[in-house]
Structure 1
Amino acid sequence: MMPSAAQLAALDAADPLSHARDRFRLPPGVVYLDGNSLGPLPAALPDRLAQTVAGEWGEGLIRSWNDAGWIDLPVTLGAAIAPIVGAEPESVVACDSVSLNLFKLASAALAMRPGRRTILMEASDFPTDAYVMQGLAQLAGAKLKRVPRAELGAALDDDVGLLLLTHAHYVTSQVHDMAAMSAAAHAAGALTLWDLSHSAGALVVNLDADGADFAVGCGYKFLNGGPGAPAFAYLARRHWDAALPALTGWMGHAAPFDFAADYAPASGARRLLTGTPPILAMRALEAGVATFDGIDLAQAEAKSRHLVQLFAAGAATLPGVTVDAPPAGRHGAHVIIRHPEARRVMSALIARGVIGDMRPPDAMRFGFPALTTRFADVGLALETLRAVLTSGEWQEERFAPKGMVS
């Protein structure tokens, strides 16, 4: 059923998170439904970055490693991310990319489970995670096993050393029960590594309470840290002394400025650091994380769920598309609409100012971050999608596929 403009306006008027949109700089005339791929620009970020460049770098020069706290940014920024993912501050560091952090933590997990040589994943999880595990398995003499979601529990045999799962699926938006899956893995003698790339900042996450061993997450999606923003990594307190990643670097050394000949790991999650932190990118991510100050993530998850469900119900009434119905219960902050010419249709939508993304061959993905999306945006997006579909303009030559997929 298509929601009315009056209904959507009433929802916006009652929205306890409506003030958060003012924390961002959004271009006029655009309905941005791709914050699940790249979060919009935080309003405070340009001035903060300019101050870092002109003041901290330009005036402070190398002194800013100490005077401006650059050297501790991975740790202080990790501590700011920690409450967003339900972790104690010392268990999270901001560093590197999701792929590198996956490699570091998975290698540590395998070393902690000698004699177990299997890494278990869901077959349809984000392919990059599997690419990293394939490389690690080859180096470590292990094997990667991928099974359908329903078969994960049965696949937890006595050779599995690590269960790697994406908390919120990047296509279906299904959400794993982290506590239950962690308990199942532990009962089988395995460790867990969670990819929070589509959860952190969108869903309530409780890494500590749910018994997660390790986790990684993305800085440029819901955390609004900018294109290519640093990722983050989580190391549960009970593993602070035992976890020894195969990829080590001087910033993860117990005394990096002693320049000792041999590596000695720092205590806690700091041992997950490798090289010199990218300060400009860190400052940008810092501004993105600050957009969550005072935000109730339970309210954010509930709002995103409502936005998704309204959009999915309205899209189901439109001609020529099918909707992947959001999973019952918890789900991520995006929904898939399918059309045989998804890339053309999405290009036509973007030309009209409604920005989502597409995934081959036929999926259009629309994201609904709670901090930036209004209920009125649902109505605008649906009306625009209706206009594109009924006019047939997506068939025009200007929308012929070319270039990369957004």
Structure 2
Amino acid sequence: MTDPLDTRLLDEARALDAADPLGAHLDAFLDAPGVTAYLDGNSLGRPLRDMPEKLAAFVREDWGTRLIRSWDEQWMALPMELGDRIGRVALGAAAGQTVVADSTSVLIYKLLRAALGATDEERTELVMEAGNFPTDRFLAEGVAAEAGVTLRWLEPDPVRGVTIADVEAVVSERTALVSLSHVDYRSGALADMPGITAAVHEVGALMMWDLCHSAGVIPMQLDAWGVDIAVGCTYKYLNGGPGSPAFAYLRRDLQGVLRQPIQGWWSAADIFAMGPEYQPAGDIRQLLSGTPPVTSMLAMQGMLDLIEESTVEAVRAKSTSLTELAVRACDEVLAPLGVRLLTPRDPELRGGHVTIGHPDFREVTQRLWADGVIPDFRFPDGIRLGLSPLSTSHVETITGILAVRDALEPHGR
């Protein structure tokens, strides 16, 4: 017998999909056999349908036919050109300030170290959230030890996330750098980037943002908001594929002032001089180190096309629609089973994923994966529903939430 609540929620989802101005893009992504709801696009985006042919063409032509000539013809400039595209499409950043380079971890290290090396001697504190993603925290601990500075931890409300007041309570004339995530990887809380950046600048410190969970889904204006430094990955909402390289933003007036520590030949002023001494490039190329991962830069280019065509503002509007539906459905379907909402209710205060909590969710996630419903589990008891707007439908969202309900109930349905 069909549950009236299930029917109503699915009917609402179908109506929202029918009215979705971005709905036509759903067919641009490859189907995954046996998967009925992919709710992990905030962790690894789905590949575009034309990706197999694009990869094959790259091997046949750019690499297979042009061989090393492709470096001069296109690959040498690719890190900067692709960085400019990401800046224009997703970051509100003018050209010449964004580059695609290493992994997120390597870029965070480079820029933490560079920022601390460029500050006055009396600025001896690095500020970070205690619950930030492990990479950020681990790197901060290591860099603080290397640079001989004190690491001060923010401890905000775990659902609400970091606020301007939280930051103002710890920054001072001793602060060299504040490094925070724009969207909390656990709760999805969206930080006030312009407000916090202004508060940090008020005490004369530098501001660095981790954009891994916001690039491609949250509109931002890095230039207009005065952001100093930012790093983000490309395999989540930019769909660059597993291990695709990260990007770094460095405000133009800081280029040549901050000096990154991994002085590889690609960041040299004259890359082919092969001279005895290192002289860094004077532009954004100074953030490079070794040979760029050209093959891994292919997949994200098609996704940038889709975002640019759609506009990141329209992507955000659909993201809000998806998360609002998910929150309503969780209230009606999952809350009676003891599931807690671990994400801000106000859509203006959350990013592109919704997190819910229950003591049984580790085992529930295993059941869901076996049944073709793919969210992800985050310790200690959270399931994240990652709703990537261009590849996720409202019906898929409700299908996943109903599956969580069925897997959680003692005897199933």
For the superposition of Structure 1 and Structure 2, which TM-score range results when normalised by the shorter chain? over 0.9
CA distance in structure 2 between the partners assigned to 1:195 and 1:110 by the alignment: 17
Is the partner of 1:204 in helix, strand or coil? coil
CA distance in structure 2 between the partners assigned to 1:169 and 1:392 by the alignment: 34
Map of 1:157 onto structure 2 = 172
CA deviation after TM superposition for structure 1 residue 393, in Å = 5.8
1:313-337 deviation per Cα after TM superposition (whole angstroms, max 9, x unaligned) = 2122322422224342231111111
Q: Which moved more, 1:252-261 or 1:293-302?
A: 293-302
Is the partner of 1:387 in helix, strand or coil? helix
1:144-198 deviation per Cα after TM superposition (whole angstroms, max 9, x unaligned) = 1112235321111111100101001111111111111111111101001100000
- 1:141 maps to 2:148: yes
5+ residue gaps, structure 2, are 157-164
8 Å Cα contact 1:320-1:389 kept in structure 2: no
CA deviation after TM superposition for structure 1 residue 302, in Å = 2.0
2:258 to 239, 243, 250: 243
CA distance in structure 2 between the partners assigned to 1:145 and 1:152 by the alignment: 11
- 1:205 maps to 2:234: no
- Structure 1 pair 105–98 and aligned structure 2 pair: CA distance change class (3 A): same
CA distance in structure 1 between the partners assigned to 2:320 and 2:54 by the alignment: 32
Paired positions, count? 393
Map of 2:270 onto structure 1 = 255
1:117-163 deviation per Cα after TM superposition (whole angstroms, max 9, x unaligned) = 21101221112101111111111111211122353211111111001
CA deviation after TM superposition for structure 1 residue 4, in Å = 2.5
Is the partner of 1:277 in helix, strand or coil? coil
1:298 to 313, 329, 345: 313
1:88 maps to a residue whose letter is A
1:191 maps to a residue whose letter is L
CA distance in structure 1 between the partners assigned to 2:135 and 2:112 by the alignment: 14
Query: Aligned ranges for residues 200-349 of structure 1 at < 5 Å?
Result: 200-317=215-332, 318=334, 319-328=337-346, 329-349=348-368
CA deviation after TM superposition for structure 1 residue 56, in Å = 1.6
Is the partner of 2:363 in helix, strand or coil? helix
1:77 maps to a residue whose letter is L
Query: Aligned ranges for residues 66-81 of structure 1 at < 5 Å?
Result: 66-67=72-73, 69-81=74-86
Query: Aligned ranges for residues 14-53 of structure 1 at < 5 Å?
Result: 14-28=19-33, 29-53=35-59
8 Å Cα contact 1:250-1:274 kept in structure 2: yes
CA distance in structure 2 between the partners assigned to 1:327 and 1:255 by the alignment: 52
CA distance in structure 2 between the partners assigned to 1:121 and 1:334 by the alignment: 22
Map of 1:109 onto structure 2 = 115
8 Å Cα contact 2:387-2:397 kept in structure 1: no
2:17 to 12, 15, 27: 12
1:95-130 deviation per Cα after TM superposition (whole angstroms, max 9, x unaligned) = 101111111111121122121121101221112101
8 Å Cα contact 1:322-1:337 kept in structure 2: yes
TM-score in terms of structure 1 length: 0.93
1:143 maps to a residue whose letter is T
1:33-80 deviation per Cα after TM superposition (whole angstroms, max 9, x unaligned) = 10000000112222111111122222222111113x111111111111
CA distance in structure 1 between the partners assigned to 2:343 and 2:124 by the alignment: 37
State the superposition RMSD in angstroms.
1.7
- Structure 1 pair 264–217 and aligned structure 2 pair: CA distance change class (3 A): same
- 1:85 maps to 2:85: no
Map of 2:185 onto structure 1 = 170
Map of 1:119 onto structure 2 = 126
CA distance in structure 1 between the partners assigned to 2:271 and 2:65 by the alignment: 26
CA distance in structure 2 between the partners assigned to 1:205 and 1:392 by the alignment: 46
CA deviation after TM superposition for structure 1 residue 378, in Å = 2.1
5+ residue gaps, structure 1, are 395-406
8 Å Cα contact 2:46-2:239 kept in structure 1: yes
CA distance in structure 1 between the partners assigned to 2:259 and 2:84 by the alignment: 21
CA distance in structure 2 between the partners assigned to 1:392 and 1:332 by the alignment: 34
- 1:370 maps to 2:389: yes
1:345 maps to a residue whose letter is V
Is the partner of 2:354 in helix, strand or coil? strand
CA distance in structure 1 between the partners assigned to 2:363 and 2:218 by the alignment: 31
8 Å Cα contact 2:39-2:397 kept in structure 1: no
CA deviation after TM superposition for structure 1 residue 247, in Å = 2.0
TM-score in terms of structure 2 length: 0.91
8 Å Cα contact 1:134-1:143 kept in structure 2: no
CA distance in structure 1 between the partners assigned to 2:106 and 2:319 by the alignment: 29
- Structure 1 pair 5–393 and aligned structure 2 pair: CA distance change class (3 A): closer
1:346-399 deviation per Cα after TM superposition (whole angstroms, max 9, x unaligned) = 1111222211000112111111111111111122112222222225469xxxxx
CA distance in structure 1 between the partners assigned to 2:408 and 2:87 by the alignment: 43
**Aligned structure 1 segments of 4 or more residues deviating by more than 3 angstroms:** 391-394
CA distance in structure 2 between the partners assigned to 1:193 and 1:256 by the alignment: 28
Map of 2:160 onto structure 1 = none
